[in-house]
Amino acid sequence: MNRSVVIAFIIASATALSAPVLAGPPVFPDVIALPGGFFPEGIAIGQGTTAYVGSLVDGAIWKGDVRTGEGAVLVAGVPGRIAVGMDHDARSGHLWVAGGPDGNAYVYDGNSGSLVDVLDLVPGGFVNDVIVTRRAAYLTDSFAPQLYEVPLTANGTVSGPPRTIPLTGSFQFQPGQFNANGIEASPDGGTLIVVNSFFGELYTVPAGSGAATTIELGGAVVNGDGLVLVGRTLYAVEGGKNQITEIALAAGYGAGTVTDTISSPSFDVPTTAARHGRSLYAVNAKFGTPPLPTTPYEIVRVDR
């Protein structure tokens, strides 16, 4: 090795030793704290690593980052209002929120938190969850055998009045109980998947039709709540069991097989979940724990 090569080697080695150590990929926390007393129910993932969570206390909306775990209240609560299921529309940046017992759907600007629209769907019902497709937003009613369809433009804005769609076919209904709950949609928006919390059944429903067909599982989704569909894999939150059930659906979604159950020691009656990458994020509603102003609540991350 000649003298110039030795000098170059020494310089290169010194440079490598003095170079800063590059940080690895960001660490996504397994548990994200929500404000005390928030009493969450619905969750949606927005642009990038943004997450939204709604409150059963007063309809407030928390906005945070699942990468850092940091967040703050985006929409202030209103006495008498609650926020149940929600979905984010990337086209418009709008956040859709089911209003529960007031029979409304609320649409917020996902960046500013300003109220974009209030849709009066049903008096005396319980608007529980929402899924946004390319052509419409669909919402479930737990107290009546029907769905609500809100037509949308290509850029995600409301284009007409809501329409009530009776649920027929195989759909079962028990008065006075929570029936239709979580809702999902196929990638093309042509098929909806609805869970019935009381009967533990899943159904396919052609969008705009209401003719429900039972998905054959060979078992029940006990107290099924929020749903997440990824390809032909369906994740159903079963809060009473503190687990998320993974179901492999057949082509056309007419049948399914339970392939896994996902749990966490941090689960405490999760209600709904949302997906980011290879992770599911579920909110702990902690039903059975008094929702005091100091009661802690969390988002819990689990691997898919």
Rg (CA), the chain: 22
256-262 vs 243-249, strand pairing mode: antiparallel
191-196 vs 201-206, strand pairing mode: antiparallel
pLDDT in tens, the chain (304 residues): 443 433 333 333 333 333 444 455 568 999 999 999 999 999 999 999 999 999 999 999 999 999 999 999 999 999 999 999 999 999 999 999 999 999 999 999 999 999 999 999 999 999 999 999 999 999 999 999 999 999 999 999 999 999 999 999 999 999 999 999 999 999 999 999 999 999 999 999 999 999 999 999 988 899 999 999 999 999 999 999 999 999 999 999 999 999 999 999 999 999 999 999 999 999 999 999 999 999 999 999 999 9
Looking at residue 5, what is its pLDDT? 36
Residue 125 CA to chain centroid, in angstroms? 21
Beta strands in 110-189 (DSSP E): 115-120, 127-132, 136-141, 146-151, 163-166, 168-169, 180-185
Looking at residue 26, what is its pLDDT? 62
Distance between CA 263 and CA 242 in Å, rounded?
6
Residue 242 CA to chain centroid, in angstroms? 16
Residues in contact with 285: Cβ distance below 8 Å, sequence separation at least 6, in sequence order: 39, 40, 41, 56, 239, 269, 270, 271, 297
Three-state DSSP at 300 gives strand
CA distances (Å), origin 84, targets 116, 155, 171, 225, 264: 18, 24, 22, 11, 23
Looking at residue 8, what is its pLDDT? 36
Looking at residue 183, what is its pLDDT? 98
* Sequence letter at residue 198: F
Looking at residue 18, what is its pLDDT? 39
Looking at residue 187, what is its pLDDT? 96
Three-state DSSP at 85 gives coil
Three-state DSSP at 104 gives strand
136-141 vs 233-238, strand pairing mode: unpaired
Looking at residue 297, what is its pLDDT? 98
Closest to 123 in 3D by CA, of 100, 140, 145: 100
Which residues lie across from 163 on neighbouring strands?
Answer: 149
Closest to 88 in 3D by CA, of 58, 57, 133, 127: 133
- Position of tokens 């129910």? 41
- The CB density around residue 268, as the number of other CB atoms within 10 Å, is 19
DSSP state of 158: B
Looking at residue 160, what is its pLDDT? 97
Closest to 97 in 3D by CA, of 165, 161, 46: 46
Looking at residue 27, what is its pLDDT? 83
Distance between CA 128 and CA 84 in Å, rounded?
6
